[in-house]
A and B are shown apart, each in its own frame.
Chain A
Amino acid sequence: MTQPLLQVQDLHTVFSTKEGQVKAVDGVSFELNVGETLGIVGESGCGKSVTALSIMRLQRPGRIVGGKVMFKGQDLTRISEYEMREIRGREIAMIFQDPMTSLNPVYRVGWQVGEPTRVHNGWDAKKAFSSAVSMLGRVGIPSAASRAKDYPHQFSGGMRQRAMIAMGLTTTPHVLIADEPTTALDVTIQAQILDLLRDVNREFGTATILITHNLGVVAGMCQRLIVMYAGKIVEAGPTADVFAHPKHPYTWSLLRSIPRLDAETHEPLKPIEGLPPNLVDLPGGCAFHPRCAFRVEKCSRDVPSLLRVGDTQQAACWVTQSGTELKGG
């Protein structure tokens, strides 16, 4: 068994706010293997972005207060800022949701795409620029040589996101973290970007963590997926298995709330009851229990841990851990 590339072990990140302390990441553990595509799914505020930022140590003003992030034998939460900077952008790259605001408006795109290689690899400006141009070409930007001299505002949304991806790949990192890469884009462009990410994963062998709230995105892209809720992982497993037989009521409800082509017509959609949790004032026991159709008494008292349920999946649910199947009308 090869070592996993990235291991997040019991990570805890908190934010101090006026209303109290928010445990944005509350004991999250997962692994990423070489060349793998992992999806992290959840609604806004569940902690998926903060998890990614914590891996990159960009979680400020939050604080990492516990756990480890093992990467190539080092614990990223403990190394110095200087060492972390060597890793950021070079070994682990991250791209963000809104390409419009994520690119610096006053520098040419080619210059920005070439910056990681100038700083990390020590390449001179010319070499970095031409490498940037070729990378821009590979991510599908036409006339890359001349477009590289343009400024971000001259690019369309989709092209900007491609440029961001190019920027992340110039140093051929081991891991690419994509935080909601398609959310800010038109639906048709979304598909193109996802295709690009898939190609990149295949061609460069870059392990990818794809963060999204869109189950549809995950379905086509990721081999494995993690579902987060209120700062914790509630389910994990191979994508196909999770979709076929979800082992956590939250995942189960999510999948049922999506309109399906093969559903009976006139069947009402089933939204999840209740409101998202208040992270300062979480319910006792399992955070999802107030909205859960399967809850039992134990759920309001004890917090379930993420345990093996079935052959390939894990779920943090008393009900499924005790063998009950999730079915319902």
Chain B
Amino acid sequence: MIGPSRVAELEMPAAGIETAGSRPAQSYWNESWERLRANRIGMAAGTLILVMAVIAVMAPVFSLVLTHYQPQTINLLETFAKPGAGHLLGSDELGRDTLTRLIWGARVSLGVAFLTVAMSLTLGTTLGMVAGYYGGWIDDVLMRLVDTVLAIPAIFLFILMSILFRPNAFTLAAIIASVGWGTVARLVRGEVLSVKQRDFIVATRSIGARDSRLMVRHLLPNVLPVLIVAASLGVGQIILVEAALDFLGLGIQPPTPSWGNMLTNAQSYFFRSGWLVALPGITIFITVLASNLFGNAIRDAFDPRLKS
């Protein structure tokens, strides 16, 4: 009887450097969470975003308790005040308190961003999965559609749509999402294409599972990591785009305060108060920075493609 077969070559498992002690295998999610927690900068950034979100939600409370101003209260006697006792961060051209407006502005920026992400992810994932799963002409049509949407420069499309449709928070989110879904769809489609080949999908199919069940219960969880990564990296961009639209006057309209529209008339503030120009921008910067850092941390922790 031929025993265990040996090839002429000494092709043994690489001696290499074996880990001194092996750790118990963990589930993907646990392992990813741990990696995330270990990333101090990322966690700090994430906490900051969380804090901002809380502040945004509790804006009315803050108005009442902290600053004692409403965002739209006009006081023509205290215009362009420098940061100080009366107005912690100064006031604007109509005497409205800047800090209060920044706090209320967070509602807009974070709120619209959240809505936009929700919409693009929903639409993009659905269409991406359908395209990837069914393939064939459905895939071709959907992908051409994505190509087409992405061919129109986003900012032009946004401008066009905001003059065609009255922009409130929802429509604004929808407008921005109308381009965003495309990238998501492509990403999801790509993941589905690679996951589709794996054995467990074939196995599940062979026991007669319905397509929708397959997509939701089996494909989706595998696509989720890539989605999470894409979403967290994209939030910063969305906030910037939304602020730019507000600044141009094509987004959230005054008197509702948003960080972007607080800068719409900035050119006229130059000689009166530099603070008024600097503060909303700094706020946007910090928020986007935190969001990007957190997004990077999430990507480092969750991206399956970075796993060795």
| Chains A and B touch (C-beta atoms under 8 A apart) | yes
Query: Which residues of A pack against B, CB within 8 Å?
Result: 17, 19-20, 22, 42-46, 213-216, 230, 254, 257-259, 266, 268-271, 275-281
4 smallest CB-CB distances across A and B, nearest first, come from A45-B15, A268-B3, A276-B15, A269-B6
CB distance from A108 to the nearest CB of B (A): 33
User: Which of the residues A19, A258, A269, A276 comes within 8 Å of B3, measured between beta carbons?
Assistant: A269
Q: A259-B6, A275-B13 given. 16 additional CB < 8 A pairs?
A: A45-B14, A215-B8, A215-B9, A216-B9, A268-B2, A268-B3, A269-B4, A269-B5, A270-B6, A271-B6, A276-B12, A276-B15, A278-B18, A280-B18, A280-B20, A281-B20
Asked whether A19 lies within 8 Å of B17 as measured between CB atoms, the reply is yes
**Chain B contacts of A271 at CB under 8 A?**
4, 6
Among B4, B18, B19, the most chain A Cβ lie within 10 Å of the Cβ of: B18
Closest to B14 in A: A44
Residue of B nearest to A183 (CB): B9
Known contacts A45-B14, A276-B13; decide if A19 and B19 are in contact (CB<8 Å): yes
**How close is A123's CB to chain B, nearest CB, in angstroms?**
41
Complex CA–CA separation, A48 to B17 (angstroms): 15
Write the nearest CB–CB distance from B50 to chain A, whole angstroms: 33
B contact residues, total (Cβ < 8 Å): 19
The binding surface of chain A is classed by DSSP as loop
Q: How far is the CB of A256 from chain B (nearest CB, A)?
A: 10
Name which residue of chain A comes closest to B15, CB basis.
A45
Q: Which of A19, A20, A216, A268 contacts B1 (CB 8 A)?
A: A268
Across-interface contacts of A258 in B (CB, < 8 A): 6, 8
Report the separation of the CA atoms of residues A285 and B289 in the bound assembly, to the nearest whole angstrom.
Answer: 57
Bound form: Cα–Cα A257–B9 in Å: 9
Can you name 25 A-B residue pairings with CB atoms under 8 Å?
A19-B17, A20-B20, A43-B15, A44-B12, A44-B15, A45-B14, A213-B9, A213-B10, A213-B11, A214-B8, A214-B9, A215-B8, A230-B15, A259-B6, A266-B1, A268-B1, A268-B2, A268-B3, A268-B4, A269-B2, A271-B4, A271-B6, A279-B16, A280-B17, A281-B20
Residues from chain B with Cβ under 8 Å of A269 in the complex:
2-6
Query: Which of B3, B5, B9, B20: most chain A Cβ within 10 A?
Result: B9
Q: A156–B45 Cα gap in the complex (Å)?
A: 51
The chain B residue with its CB closest to the CB of A281 is B20
B20 (CB) vs chain A CBs: closest residue = A19
Whether A259 pairs with B8 at a CB distance below 8 angstroms is: yes
Evaluate whether A43 and B3 lie within 8 angstroms (CB atoms) in the complex, with A22-B17, A278-B17 already known. no
How many angstroms from the CA of A150 to the CA of B5 in the assembled complex?
42
CB of A44 within 8 A of CB of B20, answer no
B1-40 Cβ-contact flags toward A at 8 Å (1 or 0): 1111110111111111111100000000000000000000
Q: How far is the CA of A275 from the CA of B13 in the complex (A)?
A: 8
Please tell me which one of the listed residues B4, B10, B14, B19 contacts residue A254 in the complex, with CB atoms under 8 A apart. Answer: B10
Pick the most buried of B10, B13, B19: most chain A CB atoms within 10 A of its CB: B10
